[in-house]
Each structure stands twice: as structure tokens, then as C-alpha cells.
Amino acid sequence: MPIEPDASQSETEQKHPDGSSPPGSPSSASESTAANAEQAGTPHPSAKSQPNRSSVAPETVEDRQALMHLASAGFELASFSLILGGAGYAIDHWLGNGTPYLGIAGLFVGFSLGFYRLIVLAGKMN
């Protein structure tokens, strides 16, 4: 059964049968003012702008180097843990241990060394 248009609404105010607005027609007053401001060439205050990506990036070479040092410290933390934990697990397997005590100890030592390096690099930045 077709839906009859409402005579009290103008053609641009009428909704589609699925509840959405017709293409190209604003569905609210704020959208119409934003559309009018856009056509006039001035941005509407409610219009959302894209973030300025240049303000997110570090501005100086020293800032970039500091961020790279911290990124390398994070890489060292992960790599120390994986390498020492893996070495401990391999020794456990080679010795025939049922419980990977050396693997757990390797992870602990790896995290300790990684955090130590992180603290040393953070201390050099100040």
C-alpha cells in the first residue's frame, strides 16, 4: 500500500518511507543553516573541521629524537622479555623440565632489564 504524502509538509520536509530524508534536503534547521553558510563561503560554528595533523607531529628535531629514543626503549623492553623468556623455555625443554621455571625466570629478568633501560633513557632526556 503506497504512503500518501502529508499535505501539511513541504516537499523538502517530507520523509522517505524508511524514515530518512530525501537526498539533498536538510532534515533539521541546523543542517539548513550549515548548508546556507557553506554555500555563502563561511563555515558554520557547528560544522566539524578536520584535526590539524601538523600540530600533532613534533616540531623540533630534538623532540623527534626524544620520541625515537622512547620508542626504542619500548622495543628493547619487548625484545629482552621475548629473547630471555624464550631462552629460558628452550633450556627448560632441553633439560626435560615439566614446568618452565627457567622460562618464567627469563621473562622476569627480561622485563627487569627492559624497564631498567627505559628508566635510563628517560633519565637522559631530562
Q: What is the pLDDT of residues 72-96, one digit of tens each?
A: 888 999 999 999 999 999 999 999 9
Domain ranges of the chain: 12-48, 59-125
pLDDT digits (tens, 9 = 90+) for 12-69: 555 555 665 555 555 545 555 555 555 555 555 555 555 555 556 778 888 888 888 8
Neighbours of 102 (CB within 10 A): 20
Cβ atoms of 33 and 27 within 8 Å: the answer is no
The runs of H, that is alpha helices, within 1-126 are 29-40, 61-95, 101-125
pLDDT at position 125 is 77
pLDDT at position 36 is 55
